[in-house]
Amino acid sequence: MNIRLSLIGMGAGHPDHITRQGIAALNQAQLVLLPRKGPDKADLAELRAQLCRELITHSGVVLAPFDMPLRTGAESDYPGAVDRWHDAIAQVWLHTIGQHLPQGGRVALLVWGDPSLYDSTLRIAQRLARQVSVTTTVVPGITALQALTAAHAIPLNDINAPVLITTGRRLRDHGWPDGADTVAVMLDGHCAFQMFSPLMGVRIWWGAYLGMPHQICLSGEVAEIGPVILRARTEARALHGWIMDTYLLKRTHPHSEPGSEAIHKETAHGH
């Protein structure tokens, strides 16, 4: 079996976030994989299917839904649990492709955000390549960070200053990263920004459903706007059945020492 796999960045889910190159790759595919993540996230699978119906004009493209395996394992063994989960997903990919293209062929998969930025689709593709012949092509789209800064009309970085990109898990477990005054946070389902004391003077630019008609953007000092973001996030998730959000943090007192400020980790772990 020889598989030509196209991983296509789909931004935050708006059809305009997919480039013309991405649309061409969708139409050149014989098979498009559509992951399903259970009934609680059924709207996500439907959004992918809707994008395909809107953007694919070639009648020969087959849409193939598949059920995503669940990640299991203790929180203390997070890397091991993720590793086993990726192995399981690769097996499901292989099974689904084999059902529709037993001899191999052109396969596409839409990826939230960008396939190269805090996404594991490429790692799963590497696992697939250990079992069959796979040629992988990445088609970038609009990233979550591009959509976020555009929505707020702000630059990502200060003049001659770096930006650190991290996850909510690392921010929650390790606090504010050393040597960084601007931090972009991805994959944060627990709103780790709650952990920072008002004494730190942290400002946040938060966005959900970026670029979509129901986009939500909020910004301000974390101490003031944080509770508003929490309520907005909860209400939006209940309304739409899913939420994709990200945020940018900047310290308004960049020269103070992180170790001297109160960080309420017990608050973060309590949510």
Residue 246 Cα distances to 62, 90, 151, 185, angstroms: 32, 27, 12, 6
pLDDT in tens, the chain (271 residues): 899 999 999 988 888 899 999 999 999 999 999 998 877 666 777 889 999 999 999 889 999 999 999 888 777 788 888 999 999 999 999 999 999 999 999 999 999 888 888 889 999 999 999 999 999 999 999 998 999 999 999 999 999 999 999 999 999 999 999 989 999 999 999 999 999 888 888 999 999 999 888 999 999 999 999 999 999 999 999 998 889 999 999 998 655 444 434 333 333 333 3
Of the candidates 132, 169, 156, 139, which has an alpha carbon nearest to the alpha carbon of residue 205?
A: 156
Residue 159 is encoded by which pair of tokens?
A: 């003049």
Q: How many whole angstroms separate alpha carbon 226 and alpha carbon 231?
A: 9
Of the candidates 1, 6, 55, 54, which has an alpha carbon nearest to the alpha carbon of residue 30?
A: 6
Residue 114 is encoded by which pair of tokens?
A: 């960008």
Q: How many whole angstroms separate alpha carbon 210 and alpha carbon 141?
A: 13
Please count the residues of the chain. Answer: 271
Environment class of 259 (CB within 10 Å of its CB; exposed 0-12, middle 13-18, buried 19+): exposed
Phi, psi of 199 (to 5 degrees): -65, -20
